[in-house]
Amino acid sequence: MKIPEKVKDIFMNEPVHQLATSSAAGIPNISNVGAKYLLDDETIIIVDNYMKKTLSNILENPVTAILIRRGSESYQIKGKCNYLQSGPIWDGARKWIKSIAEKYPAKGVLEIKVEEVYNSASGSDSGEKIW
């Protein structure tokens, strides 16, 4: 199944989203992410330039959630993350971020396989699964 088009549009065209992670002990963390793109209809790529707590959490617990929004539209994307520091996906992400600015270190790549998408906007259908 594919990420809905309206969700993909917001993901790609809004500059920053919030990525939530949790340690193995359940300690939450949320961070802003802007170095991101869709690899395909079910995979999100986020470049790790400066992650500390987020990276530590992902290495302990690969479950993630991303909140995306535009105006009154808001969605939560949930999935499992692989952390990559080599291979074709990392090579492609590194090349992409370096084309934006050479200063970005591209230490690694979060490859998030999307499993669920929920409506997060205020209203009667808030919290409903849309994918």
In a domain, 55, yes or no: yes
What pLDDT band is residue 131 in, cutting at 50, 70 and 90?
confident
pTM of the model: 0.95
Contacts (Cβ under 8 Å, ≥6 apart) of 111: 39, 43, 44, 45, 81, 82, 83, 84, 89
Q: Express each pLDDT in 7-56 by its tens digit.
A: 999 999 999 999 999 999 999 999 999 999 999 999 999 999 999 999 99
In a domain, 122, yes or no: no
Cβ–Cβ < 8 Å for 24, 60: yes
**Cα–Cα distance for residue pair 87/73, rounded to 1 Å:** 35
What CATH number has the domain bearing residue 36? 2.30.110.10
Whether 2 shows a pLDDT value over 90: the answer reads no
DSSP assigned state of 93: H
Whether 115 shows a pLDDT value over 90: the answer reads yes
Overall number of domains in the chain: 1
**Cα–Cα distance for residue pair 11/66, rounded to 1 Å:** 10
**Cα–Cα distance for residue pair 77/85, rounded to 1 Å:** 23
In a domain, 130, yes or no: no
The residue range of the domain holding 91 is 5-117
In a domain, 131, yes or no: no
Whether 1 shows a pLDDT value over 80: the answer reads no
Angle at alpha carbon of residue 36, lines to 128 and 118, rounded to 5°: 0
